[in-house]
Amino acid sequence: MARTKKKKKPAIQAKSKKAPRTKAEQRAETMEHILDAAEYLFSKHGLYGVTLRDVAQKIGVHTSLMHYYFEDKFALFTAVFVRRAPITSERRMKALDQYEKNAKGKPTVAGALHAFLDTDFDLYMNGGAGWKNYGAFGSQVSNTPEGASMFDEHFDPVVLRLISVLRKALPGVPPEEIFWGYHFVTGSFMHSLSRSGRLDRLSGGLCKSDDLKAVKARMADFMAAGFMTLKKR
Protein backbone atom coordinates (compact mmCIF):
# COMPACT_ATOMS: atom_id res chain seq x y z
CA MET A 1 0.00 0.00 0.00
CA ALA A 2 1.17 3.47 -0.84
CA ARG A 3 1.86 5.58 2.14
CA THR A 4 -0.30 8.68 2.43
CA LYS A 5 1.64 11.85 2.93
CA LYS A 6 0.91 13.66 6.13
CA LYS A 7 -0.39 17.15 5.59
CA LYS A 8 1.87 19.78 7.00
CA LYS A 9 0.26 21.86 9.67
CA PRO A 10 0.28 25.56 8.83
CA ALA A 11 2.88 27.44 10.74
CA ILE A 12 1.39 29.25 13.69
CA GLN A 13 2.01 32.93 13.30
CA ALA A 14 3.20 34.65 16.38
CA LYS A 15 0.65 37.12 17.68
CA SER A 16 1.85 40.65 17.48
CA LYS A 17 1.92 42.18 20.89
CA LYS A 18 1.27 45.85 21.35
CA ALA A 19 4.02 47.67 23.09
CA PRO A 20 2.94 48.76 26.55
CA ARG A 21 1.96 52.38 26.75
CA THR A 22 4.51 54.73 28.17
CA LYS A 23 3.76 56.78 31.26
CA ALA A 24 3.62 59.86 29.08
CA GLU A 25 0.96 58.24 26.87
CA GLN A 26 -1.03 57.17 29.92
CA ARG A 27 -0.89 60.70 31.33
CA ALA A 28 -1.96 62.16 27.98
CA GLU A 29 -4.94 59.78 27.80
CA THR A 30 -5.97 60.59 31.36
CA MET A 31 -5.70 64.30 30.61
CA GLU A 32 -7.97 63.93 27.59
CA HIS A 33 -10.57 62.09 29.68
CA ILE A 34 -10.47 64.85 32.28
CA LEU A 35 -10.76 67.64 29.71
CA ASP A 36 -13.61 65.89 27.90
CA ALA A 37 -15.55 65.42 31.14
CA ALA A 38 -14.90 68.99 32.31
CA GLU A 39 -15.87 70.39 28.91
CA TYR A 40 -19.18 68.52 29.05
CA LEU A 41 -19.95 69.62 32.62
CA PHE A 42 -18.97 73.25 32.01
CA SER A 43 -21.18 73.24 28.90
CA LYS A 44 -24.17 72.23 31.04
CA HIS A 45 -23.58 74.10 34.29
CA GLY A 46 -21.10 76.89 33.56
CA LEU A 47 -17.89 77.70 35.36
CA TYR A 48 -19.43 78.22 38.78
CA GLY A 49 -21.71 75.20 38.68
CA VAL A 50 -18.91 72.62 38.45
CA THR A 51 -16.32 71.44 41.00
CA LEU A 52 -13.21 69.31 40.64
CA ARG A 53 -15.08 66.62 42.55
CA ASP A 54 -17.84 66.67 39.93
CA VAL A 55 -15.32 66.07 37.16
CA ALA A 56 -13.62 63.30 39.15
CA GLN A 57 -16.95 61.55 39.67
CA LYS A 58 -17.80 61.91 35.98
CA ILE A 59 -14.77 59.83 34.95
CA GLY A 60 -14.67 57.61 38.05
CA VAL A 61 -11.43 58.73 39.69
CA HIS A 62 -10.49 60.12 43.09
CA THR A 63 -10.48 63.89 43.50
CA SER A 64 -6.83 63.73 44.50
CA LEU A 65 -5.99 62.79 40.90
CA MET A 66 -7.58 66.04 39.75
CA HIS A 67 -5.29 68.00 42.05
CA TYR A 68 -2.33 66.10 40.64
CA TYR A 69 -3.08 67.49 37.18
CA PHE A 70 -4.62 70.86 38.05
CA GLU A 71 -3.91 73.32 40.83
CA ASP A 72 -7.53 74.42 41.00
CA LYS A 73 -10.76 74.63 39.00
CA PHE A 74 -9.68 77.74 37.14
CA ALA A 75 -6.58 75.95 35.88
CA LEU A 76 -8.86 73.19 34.55
CA PHE A 77 -11.18 75.77 33.00
CA THR A 78 -8.23 77.40 31.25
CA ALA A 79 -7.01 74.05 29.91
CA VAL A 80 -10.47 73.26 28.52
CA PHE A 81 -10.67 76.66 26.86
CA VAL A 82 -7.24 76.66 25.24
CA ARG A 83 -7.40 73.08 23.96
CA ARG A 84 -9.65 74.02 21.04
CA ALA A 85 -9.42 77.84 20.83
CA PRO A 86 -6.34 77.95 18.54
CA ILE A 87 -7.99 75.53 16.11
CA THR A 88 -11.08 77.65 15.56
CA SER A 89 -9.13 80.92 15.49
CA GLU A 90 -6.59 79.70 12.95
CA ARG A 91 -9.25 78.23 10.67
CA ARG A 92 -11.25 81.46 10.62
CA MET A 93 -8.15 83.59 10.13
CA LYS A 94 -7.13 81.51 7.10
CA ALA A 95 -10.68 81.65 5.73
CA LEU A 96 -10.77 85.45 6.01
CA ASP A 97 -7.32 85.80 4.44
CA GLN A 98 -8.32 83.55 1.55
CA TYR A 99 -11.64 85.34 1.11
CA GLU A 100 -10.02 88.77 0.96
CA LYS A 101 -7.46 87.49 -1.53
CA ASN A 102 -10.22 86.07 -3.74
CA ALA A 103 -12.27 89.28 -3.44
CA LYS A 104 -9.44 91.26 -5.10
CA GLY A 105 -10.12 94.49 -3.27
CA LYS A 106 -13.91 94.24 -3.45
CA PRO A 107 -15.06 92.29 -0.39
CA THR A 108 -18.73 92.11 0.53
CA VAL A 109 -20.30 91.98 3.96
CA ALA A 110 -21.98 88.65 3.21
CA GLY A 111 -18.74 87.15 1.92
CA ALA A 112 -16.79 88.21 5.00
CA LEU A 113 -19.46 86.89 7.36
CA HIS A 114 -19.69 83.58 5.53
CA ALA A 115 -15.91 83.14 5.84
CA PHE A 116 -16.01 83.98 9.54
CA LEU A 117 -19.15 82.10 10.58
CA ASP A 118 -19.44 79.14 8.21
CA THR A 119 -15.89 77.96 8.91
CA ASP A 120 -16.72 77.72 12.60
CA PHE A 121 -20.13 76.15 12.10
CA ASP A 122 -18.44 73.40 10.10
CA LEU A 123 -16.33 72.54 13.15
CA TYR A 124 -19.32 72.37 15.48
CA MET A 125 -21.39 70.37 13.00
CA ASN A 126 -18.76 67.86 11.91
CA GLY A 127 -16.32 67.70 14.82
CA GLY A 128 -18.32 65.31 16.97
CA ALA A 129 -19.77 65.65 20.46
CA GLY A 130 -16.61 67.28 21.80
CA TRP A 131 -16.91 70.30 19.52
CA LYS A 132 -20.63 70.66 20.23
CA ASN A 133 -19.82 70.63 23.95
CA TYR A 134 -17.10 73.21 23.39
CA GLY A 135 -19.56 75.49 21.62
CA ALA A 136 -22.05 75.26 24.47
CA PHE A 137 -19.18 75.70 26.95
CA GLY A 138 -18.16 78.94 25.22
CA SER A 139 -21.75 80.14 25.28
CA GLN A 140 -21.98 79.43 29.01
CA VAL A 141 -18.77 81.20 30.02
CA SER A 142 -18.73 84.11 27.56
CA ASN A 143 -20.64 86.28 30.02
CA THR A 144 -18.34 85.61 32.97
CA PRO A 145 -15.28 87.77 33.78
CA GLU A 146 -13.01 84.73 33.46
CA GLY A 147 -14.55 83.73 30.15
CA ALA A 148 -14.40 87.28 28.75
CA SER A 149 -10.70 87.43 29.59
CA MET A 150 -10.04 84.19 27.72
CA PHE A 151 -12.06 85.37 24.73
CA ASP A 152 -10.02 88.60 24.67
CA GLU A 153 -6.76 86.68 24.66
CA HIS A 154 -7.61 83.99 22.12
CA PHE A 155 -10.22 85.48 19.80
CA ASP A 156 -9.55 89.22 19.53
CA PRO A 157 -7.08 88.87 16.62
CA VAL A 158 -9.54 87.01 14.38
CA VAL A 159 -12.41 89.33 15.35
CA LEU A 160 -10.33 92.38 14.46
CA ARG A 161 -9.40 90.69 11.18
CA LEU A 162 -13.12 90.37 10.41
CA ILE A 163 -13.68 94.02 11.34
CA SER A 164 -10.92 95.10 8.95
CA VAL A 165 -12.59 93.26 6.05
CA LEU A 166 -16.03 94.64 6.97
CA ARG A 167 -14.66 98.18 6.98
CA LYS A 168 -13.40 97.69 3.43
CA ALA A 169 -16.81 96.33 2.45
CA LEU A 170 -18.56 99.31 4.06
CA PRO A 171 -16.55 102.41 3.13
CA GLY A 172 -17.94 105.53 4.72
CA VAL A 173 -19.72 103.70 7.54
CA PRO A 174 -18.45 104.87 10.95
CA PRO A 175 -16.32 102.22 12.64
CA GLU A 176 -18.48 102.26 15.79
CA GLU A 177 -21.45 101.10 13.71
CA ILE A 178 -19.44 98.17 12.40
CA PHE A 179 -18.43 97.20 15.93
CA TRP A 180 -22.09 97.37 16.99
CA GLY A 181 -22.91 95.11 14.05
CA TYR A 182 -20.29 92.61 15.16
CA HIS A 183 -21.72 92.76 18.68
CA PHE A 184 -25.10 91.63 17.37
CA VAL A 185 -23.51 88.92 15.22
CA THR A 186 -21.48 87.38 18.02
CA GLY A 187 -24.47 87.49 20.40
CA SER A 188 -26.58 85.52 17.95
CA PHE A 189 -23.71 83.17 17.19
CA MET A 190 -23.01 82.32 20.84
CA HIS A 191 -26.71 81.89 21.56
CA SER A 192 -26.97 79.46 18.66
CA LEU A 193 -24.06 77.41 19.98
CA SER A 194 -25.85 77.00 23.32
CA ARG A 195 -28.49 74.79 21.62
CA SER A 196 -30.83 75.54 24.53
CA GLY A 197 -33.98 74.05 23.00
CA ARG A 198 -36.03 77.19 23.58
CA LEU A 199 -36.49 77.77 19.85
CA ASP A 200 -37.93 74.27 19.54
CA ARG A 201 -40.61 75.06 22.11
CA LEU A 202 -41.43 78.53 20.77
CA SER A 203 -41.80 77.30 17.18
CA GLY A 204 -43.75 74.20 18.13
CA GLY A 205 -41.05 72.05 16.58
CA LEU A 206 -40.79 73.98 13.31
CA CYS A 207 -37.20 74.93 14.17
CA LYS A 208 -34.60 72.93 16.09
CA SER A 209 -31.99 74.79 18.09
CA ASP A 210 -29.46 72.00 17.55
CA ASP A 211 -29.90 72.15 13.76
CA LEU A 212 -26.66 74.00 13.15
CA LYS A 213 -26.89 73.27 9.44
CA ALA A 214 -30.06 75.38 9.30
CA VAL A 215 -28.43 78.12 11.36
CA LYS A 216 -25.39 78.18 9.08
CA ALA A 217 -27.59 78.45 5.99
CA ARG A 218 -29.27 81.59 7.35
CA MET A 219 -27.11 83.55 9.76
CA ALA A 220 -24.46 85.19 7.56
CA ASP A 221 -26.98 86.47 4.98
CA PHE A 222 -29.42 87.62 7.66
CA MET A 223 -26.71 89.56 9.51
CA ALA A 224 -25.33 90.95 6.25
CA ALA A 225 -28.73 92.51 5.52
CA GLY A 226 -28.57 94.24 8.90
CA PHE A 227 -25.10 95.61 8.15
CA MET A 228 -26.29 97.00 4.83
CA THR A 229 -28.85 99.20 6.60
CA LEU A 230 -25.91 101.06 8.14
CA LYS A 231 -25.26 102.66 4.75
CA LYS A 232 -28.69 104.31 4.94
CA ARG A 233 -28.31 105.82 8.40
> What is the pLDDT averaged over residues 1-25?
59
pLDDT at residue number 197: 93
pLDDT at residue number 143: 84
pTM: 0.85
Given a cut of 50, whether residue 1 has pLDDT beyond it is: no
Percent of the chain with pLDDT over 70: 91
Name the band, by pLDDT with cuts 50, 70 and 90, for residue 93: very high
Name the band, by pLDDT with cuts 50, 70 and 90, for residue 165: very high
> What is the pLDDT averaged over residues 13-23?
64
Name the band, by pLDDT with cuts 50, 70 and 90, for residue 23: confident
Taking the domains of the chain in order of start, what are their residue ranges?
Answer: 84-232
Query: For all residues of the chain together, what is the average pLDDT?
Result: 91
> What is the pLDDT averaged over residues 215-228?
96
- The 3-state secondary structure of 94-138 reads HHHHHHHHHHCCCCCHHHHHHHHHHHHHHHHHHCCHHHHHHHHHH
The answer to whether residues 88 and 123 touch, using CB atoms and an 8 Å cutoff, is: yes
CATH number of this structure's domain 84-232? 1.10.357.10
DSSP reduced 3-state for 209:
coil
Q: What is the DSSP letter of 62?
A: -
pLDDT at residue number 124: 95
User: What is the end-to-end Cα distance of the chain in Å, rounded?
Assistant: 110
pLDDT at residue number 144: 87
Between 3 and 146, where is the model more confident? 146
pLDDT at residue number 40: 96
pLDDT at residue number 228: 92
In this structure, the chain runs to a length of: 233
Ranges 4-18, 45-59, 99-113: which has the least confidence = 4-18
Name the band, by pLDDT with cuts 50, 70 and 90, for residue 230: confident
